[in-house]
Amino acid sequence: MTDISYLLLVMLVMTVATYATRLTPFVLFSRGQERALINFIAKNTPPMIMTILVIYMLKGVNYLSFEGVYTFIALLVTVVFHLYKRNALLSIIAGTTVYMVAVQM
Amino acid sequence: MIRSVIKTTLPILFGFLPLGIAFGILFQELGYPWYFATLMGICVYAGAAQFMAVGMLGAGVGLFEIAISTFFLNSRDLFYGLALLNSFGAWGLRKFYLIFGLTDETYALMTTLTVPKEFNRERYYFLMTLFSQCYWVLGCSIGALASSSLDFNTEGMDFAATALFTVLLIEQWLKVRKPLPFVVAFVSSCIALILFFQHMLLAAIVLSITTIIILRFIKSKQND
């Protein structure tokens, strides 16, 4: 079942749908109306979304298995490294390496 | 500038490459030629939606349903743009591309890290976006092309995304230093997890933004 025209249409539709979600706010708020509220939202969304993204990444983990323990340790390594050195790349590499070694053991 | 951008986006490489490879492997099982995985990475460029598409392509789902599902799956991007309205410079091809390439990962980096003073911000963002997409397209292609002969075990590499968001969360805290948005987001996430486990991400974003607007409204009423 390799219908190329169906695949191409699906891709086209998905490209437009994805782009629409990304473009909409820029088109809607390009003329500076409701500035105060938009600025308030703009200022508060990054800390909120970062919190949500972290929880989202952790929601699929099975905390009653080794996966949960490995995730906890790798997170701890990431946080400790970051608070100690404040080098984003170093913290991420350290945490990810610990996690990869743990799950591949 | 290129060296600095590569260093900044390296965590995205670690996140996108294994995820792209996973997508390529799944996609290739549908029986299409490998370069369609590449094409999808280039023109759709949305991780979760591409994984969803594999299932839908396999089932031969209708175009309308695919369009709606893609839109809702990516609708968190509606809120991402709000924080970057003034960061992408004047309208032009570059801005259209920056918006096209706005993903969880680039959004997180752009709103948290400060571009080094010596570089032009929009050009820096452009290269960040371009490189990130290259990592993704590379991953999709490798996965579809070499799924059977892949030697390197990437299992667990996807933890890079979790680590990236965790680091950026710490950076946000050091920057904002007010507990309110973090608490609101945490509570919203817990509620969203209980009520909408599958669609937790969007539900939590909508809930937290609504909550913080209501809180602001109440506060301004009290001040009157």
- The pLDDT tens digits for B199-214 are 788 889 889 999 999 9
Q: Which 53-72 residues of chain B touch chain A by CB within 8 A?
A: 53, 56-57, 60, 63, 66-68, 70-71
Distance between B60 CA and the closest CA of chain A, angstroms: 8
- What is the rounded distance in angstroms from the CA atom of residue B80 to the CA atom of residue B88? 13
Q: Which 174-193 residues of chain B touch chain A by CB within 8 A?
A: 175-176, 181-182, 184-186, 188-189, 193
Q: What is the mean pLDDT of chain A?
A: 87
* Residue A53 pLDDT greater than 70, yes or no: yes
Residue B123: pLDDT band with limits 50, 70, 90? very high
Domain extent listing, chain A: 1-33, 44-105
Measured between CB atoms, does A97 come within 8 Å of chain B? Answer: no
Nearest-CB residue to A18 (from B46, B79, B204):
B46
* Residue A95 pLDDT greater than 90, yes or no: yes
Nearest-CB residue to B170 (from A7, A71, A82):
A82
Q: Enter the ipTM.
A: 0.85
Nearest-CB residue to A96 (from B96, B112, B160):
B160
Pick the closest to residue A65 from A9, A97, A103 (CA basis): A103
- What is the rounded distance in angstroms from the CA atom of residue B127 to the CA atom of residue B132? 8
Residue B151: pLDDT band with limits 50, 70, 90? low
* Residue A76 pLDDT greater than 90, yes or no: yes
pLDDT in tens, A9-49: 889 999 999 998 899 888 877 665 567 787 888 888 889 98
Angle between helices B179-195 and A35-58 (to 10 degrees): 60
Percentages (nearest 5) of helix, strand, coil residues in chain B: 75, 0, 25
- pTM summary value: 0.79
Look at residue B59 in the predicted model and tell me its pLDDT.
80
Residue B26: pLDDT band with limits 50, 70, 90? confident
B30 vs A83, higher pLDDT: A83
Using CA coordinates, name the residue in chain B closest to A80. B167
Distance between A22 CA and the closest CA of chain B, angstroms: 5
